[in-house]
Chains A and B, each alone.
Chain A
């Protein structure tokens, strides 16, 4: 099916090979959240990794800040159609945070302050593909963009990059997270345009 819209296309934005299908380029940093922005005092902030048998490893903010960090520049793609190229972040690799975790799980659930969750295969968090980011564009990460710290998984649609992240839980069996239970795609690969369930 190819429905042509006569008269459309006169003021198009640039098409670029580095934009996934159906996305357009923005220079803003739009915010998408399901509820109010939580404010988490740093002295109460915790990040907890839980394996499938319930063993927990927790970092407070000073312990987290003492971990080796990486500076990364990545493209991000939101399911609401905007993409932003060349964004600069500082964060701790999930490889670092999960190095001592004893797990045979294939899946992970990411948890955040405010109750948000998102699920993904554990392998998508490993091998240099994901970070817990706490600086954006040279500044501390603002609360509306997920500060003090957010997940950064740039190869998937940005709802997988949970704001206000406070933990990762290993799961033997996959379970849907917040948007994944509300009609969005379980995996969310922007290059395959996996926006909604069934895409």
Chain B
């Protein structure tokens, strides 16, 4: 398997919330000012640490949503989980101008590198879009020529993150295609009823295995298991299928 060298100690840094925006009714993007950030690759994540006034602490990992181009803020998109002690703070309480502790970037496997020439298939389930969006943004930032296809499964149109930006990028970023799957409710003029990801979806909207695409799959455990099994069944080399499973973190 490919190796990635990450060296040096990951120290806690203090980030400040510069601005925030809602992607859906329950997902909030945090735009964080981070002095001396060393940069990151799309797909990497950070650990966020919160400390209560009495010293109680909690840490969680969040994927980075933004691409790094040598400067500027770092964006995280946090999905509110109803029983989540950290996510509910970050979506509902955390205010512009307030500090938060963060360290990273973490993870040298689930990353896309702009020097890789292979076509790319991204398959996202729900909030699993976040690290894949970082890859799309990184490709856009360097005007990458690698063909990218995103298959994005959401419950309803209201649950899709980054919908406006993705529509704009499909228009402006040559070689980027986006296909949505709606599992509960479709847009009104959608040609098919709600459905889950299937062999047919991946076969139609992915790449043929002969093209040797790099596949990145991110979402809840069941979604990732299903999608990775489909890709293997369609003949994709398991070593070219990289996965990140969300589940159990709140």
Q: Is the pairing of A and B real?
A: yes
User: Interface with A: B26-34, B86-94, B122-130, B136-144, which one?
Assistant: B86-94
A173 at interface, CB cutoff 8 A: no
**Contact partners of B243 in chain A: CB under 8 A:** 33-36
B59 at interface, CB cutoff 8 A: yes
The distance from the CB of A31 to the nearest CB of chain B, in whole angstroms, is 5
User: Interface with B: A5-13, A86-94, A95-103, A119-127, which one?
Assistant: A5-13
Q: Are B8 and A197 in contact (CB under 8 A)?
A: yes
Q: Pick the contact of B242 from A34, A178, A183 — CB < 8 Å?
A: A34
Q: Are B108 and A182 in contact (CB under 8 A)?
A: yes
- B246 (CB) vs chain A CBs: closest residue: A30
Known: A1-B14, A22-B59. A36 touches B99 (CB 8 A): no
Q: Using an 8 Å CB-CB cutoff, how does the interface string of A1-39 with B read, 1 for contact, 0 for none? A: 111111111011101000000101010111111111110
A144 at interface, CB cutoff 8 A: yes
Q: Using an 8 Å CB-CB cutoff, how does the interface string of B233-245 with A read, 1 for contact, 0 for none? A: 0000011011101
**Contact partners of A6 in chain B: CB under 8 A:** 53, 98
**Contact partners of B221 in chain A: CB under 8 A:** 30-31, 144
- What's the interface size class on A, roughly? 35 or more
Q: Are A26 and B53 in contact (CB under 8 A)?
A: no
Q: Are B109 and A182 in contact (CB under 8 A)?
A: yes
B18 at interface, CB cutoff 8 A: no
**Contact partners of A13 in chain B: CB under 8 A:** 58, 85
**Contact partners of B1 in chain A: CB under 8 A:** 34, 115-116, 178
CA distance A9 to B52 in the complex (A): 5
Q: Are A5 and B248 in contact (CB under 8 A)?
A: no
Known: A24-B58, A34-B243, A37-B228. A82 touches B50 (CB 8 A): no
A46 at interface, CB cutoff 8 A: no
3 smallest A-B Cβ distances: which pairs?
Answer: A9-B52, A198-B9, A30-B248
A-B contact pairs, 5 of them (CB 8 A): A31-B247, A81-B61, A82-B248, A181-B108, A183-B108
